[in-house]
Amino acid sequence: MKKERSLLTLLLLVFCVTASFAQTTTTQQVVVNNGIGLGSAIAVAISWSRNKSILWAIIHGVLSWFYVIYYYFTREAEK
């Protein structure tokens, strides 16, 4: 009984480890293939509407979500 339990535990552990390593490759391929993200697109649009400068839009696109959060806290209230 103990031998069967330890064998079953070992098989379960091997299955879990194998499944976790198999998913890593798939995740990396999806991230690389998607290209520009939503945060970058939002940052570029906000930067262009505020500054009308391609250079600032590129810089803010690289910073992506950091610039979107910065804009949220520093924007002026609409009247």
Q: Where are the domains of the chain?
A: 1-35, 38-74
Q: Is 15 a residue whose pLDDT tops 80?
A: no
Q: Could you read off the pLDDT of 17-65 as tens digits, one per residue?
A: 555 555 555 555 554 455 688 889 999 999 999 999 999 999 999 999 9
| pTM for the full predicted model | 0.54
- Is residue 52 within 8 Å of 79, Cβ to Cβ? no
Contact, 60 vs 46, CB < 8 A?
Answer: yes
